[in-house]
């Protein structure tokens, strides 16, 4: 646990748009001797009796237009209600606001952090309209052998249905910008992928009209480049991708239309659901082939490489490999499947916007080679189970039958 804490502690500041060549000072105990003023001073840590001293030090040594950046636990965070922790160990939002006013720090901007500031996976401001899906990014973390009484996310989901602002009140941690001047930071949402290996960790930032995806770990640069290649290939296939590469980042316009999974959730029968699903099925079915043709294509490409005496790179092996879990099926069963040489497995409803009867896709991170399109159907349905369950207990099975998946699960 300690190693994981250290690994993700940087997230609380990793996203922040520090101005170029800024001077930054991190307060540790509140009694440091400073000899100049700074653009940014940070106070990051658990609440203690030294907090007011730290705040006073920061106020005295921040530039007139500078900012104090604070990350601290919320006294009324759900984790405190969920365990035997004493609520007085942390500090409330109202108490913080009073302290800021006492120190003539009149401008503040609060962000709400999940699961907490030490392992930030989701950060958002009051300007952002939180969704039920966002709550799933709260990977609740407790010390080993802690007795807990509630499932945090279940409670947050219920609070969200009642009033979106209720979740803010029970967020486990705050990130706060404090200044003597108006604050104009335009980022209102940040999400990380902490659950992944370092080489795949990304972060997503949402501003008023722009969405930005960038690496959260230097080791993830190759993954970012793979995403760029995915976008290019999808466009070559005639698929409308809303994202573009710019300055080493993936950028798109913030789309205010409904995602396709939301559109599907508004259907009232399984027949209507499958009729709507057809538009995605048509996109996925581009360039499919039979299993026999797949084998022929692989053998043909291997022969061409041999003739050209090209170097056979290990990382290219996947282009000529059929997964063992596919090969284990009886040849007669494989004849009923439709294969893709390049399968974009993120082409699922929640990664599409539905605009005037057409799909615009985004967030295409992953590609698998030589897989049946039926596998992507399967992923698509599993990622829309909430709306299928609403249509009845048998709806998922009916959808599987409709798409010819039943014999493979």
Residue 39: other Cβ atoms inside 10 A: 16
Q: How far apart are CA 391 and CA 178, in angstroms?
A: 48
Residue 15: other Cβ atoms inside 10 A: 21
DSSP class per residue in 350-370? GGEEEETTEEEE------EEE
* pLDDT over 70 (residue 47): yes
- Tell me what pLDDT residue 1 has: 36
- Tell me what pLDDT residue 322 has: 84
Share of the chain above pLDDT 70, in %: 94
What digits encode the pLDDT tens for the residues 308-367? 655 555 446 777 788 888 888 888 888 999 999 999 999 999 999 999 999 999 999 999
- Tell me what pLDDT residue 311 has: 55
* pLDDT over 90 (residue 60): yes
Question: Strand locations in 74-201, DSSP E?
Answer: 107-114, 122-125, 173-179, 189-192
Q: b/e per residue, 251-277, with b = 16+ CB within 10 A?
A: bbeeeeeebbbbbbbebeebeebbebb
Between 213 and 307, name the one with better pLDDT: 213
Which of the four pLDDT bands, split at 50, 70 and 90, describes residue 4?
Answer: very low
- Tell me what pLDDT residue 144 has: 74
What digits encode the pLDDT tens for the residues 204-252? 999 999 999 999 999 999 999 999 999 999 999 999 999 999 989 999 9
- Quote the mean pLDDT of the chain: 90
- Tell me what pLDDT residue 87 has: 59
- Tell me what pLDDT residue 106 has: 94
Distances (CA, A) of 222 to 198, 226, 377: 11, 6, 27
pTM of the model: 0.88
* Residue 203 and residue 221 in contact, taking contact as beta carbons nearer than 8 Å: no
Q: How far apart are CA 94 and CA 76, in angstroms?
A: 11
What digits encode the pLDDT tens for the residues 268-298? 999 999 999 999 999 999 889 999 999 998 8
Q: How far apart are CA 221 and CA 376, in angstroms?
A: 26
Question: Strand locations in 227-374, DSSP E?
Answer: 243-246, 249-253, 339-343, 352-355, 358-361, 368-372
**Cα 1 versus chain centre, distance:** 22
- Tell me what pLDDT residue 13 has: 96
């Amino acid at each position: 646990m300690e190693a994981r804490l250290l690994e993700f502690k940087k997230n609380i500041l990793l996203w922040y748009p520090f101005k170029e060549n800024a001077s930054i000072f991190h307060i540790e105990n509140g009694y440091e001797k400073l000899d100049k003023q700074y653009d940014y001073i940070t106070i990051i840590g658990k609440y203690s009796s030294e907090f007011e001293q730290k705040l006073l030090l920061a106020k005295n040594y921040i530039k007139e237009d500078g900012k104090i950046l604070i990350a601290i636990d919320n006294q009324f965070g759900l984790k405190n209600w969920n365990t035997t922790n004493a609520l007085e160990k942390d500090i409330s939002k109202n108490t913080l606001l009073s302290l800021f006013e006492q120190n003539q720090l009149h401008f503040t901007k609060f962000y709400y952090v999940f699961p907490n500031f030490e392992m930030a996976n989701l950060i958002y401001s009051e300007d952002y309209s939180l969704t039920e899906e966002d709550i799933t990014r709260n990977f609740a973390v407790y010390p080993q052998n802690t007795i807990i009484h509630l499932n945090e996310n279940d409670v947050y989901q219920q609070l969200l249905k009642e009033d979106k602002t209720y979740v803010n009140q029970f967020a486990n941690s705050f990130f706060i910008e404090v200044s003597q001047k108006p604050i104009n930071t335009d980022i209102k949402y940040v999400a990380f992928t902490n659950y992944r290996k370092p080489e795949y960790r990304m972060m997503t930032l949402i501003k008023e009209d722009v969405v930005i995806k960038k690496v959260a770990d230097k080791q993830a640069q190759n993954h970012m480049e793979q995403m760029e290649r995915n976008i290019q290939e999808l466009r070559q296939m005639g698929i409308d991708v809303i994202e573009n590469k710019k300055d080493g980042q993936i950028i798109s316009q913030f789309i205010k239309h409904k995602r396709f999974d939301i559109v599907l959730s508004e259907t009232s029968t399984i027949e209507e659901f499958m009729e709507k699903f057809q538009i995605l099925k048509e996109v996925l079915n581009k360039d499919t082939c039979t299993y026999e043709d797949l084998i022929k294509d692989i053998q043909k490409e291997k022969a061409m490489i041999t003739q050209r005496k090209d170097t056979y790179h290990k990382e290219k092996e996947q282009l000529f490999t059929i997964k063992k879990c596919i090969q284990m099926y009886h040849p007669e069963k494989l004849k009923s499947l439709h294969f893709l040489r390049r399968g974009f497995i993120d082409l699922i409803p929640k990664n599409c916007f539905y605009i005037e009867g057409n799909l615009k896709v985004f967030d295409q991170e992953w590609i698998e080679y030589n897989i049946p399109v039926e596998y992507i159907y399967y992923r698509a349905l599993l990622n829309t189970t909430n709306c299928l369950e609403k249509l009845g207990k048998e709806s998922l099975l009916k959808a599987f039958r409709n798409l010819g998946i039943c014999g493979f699960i």
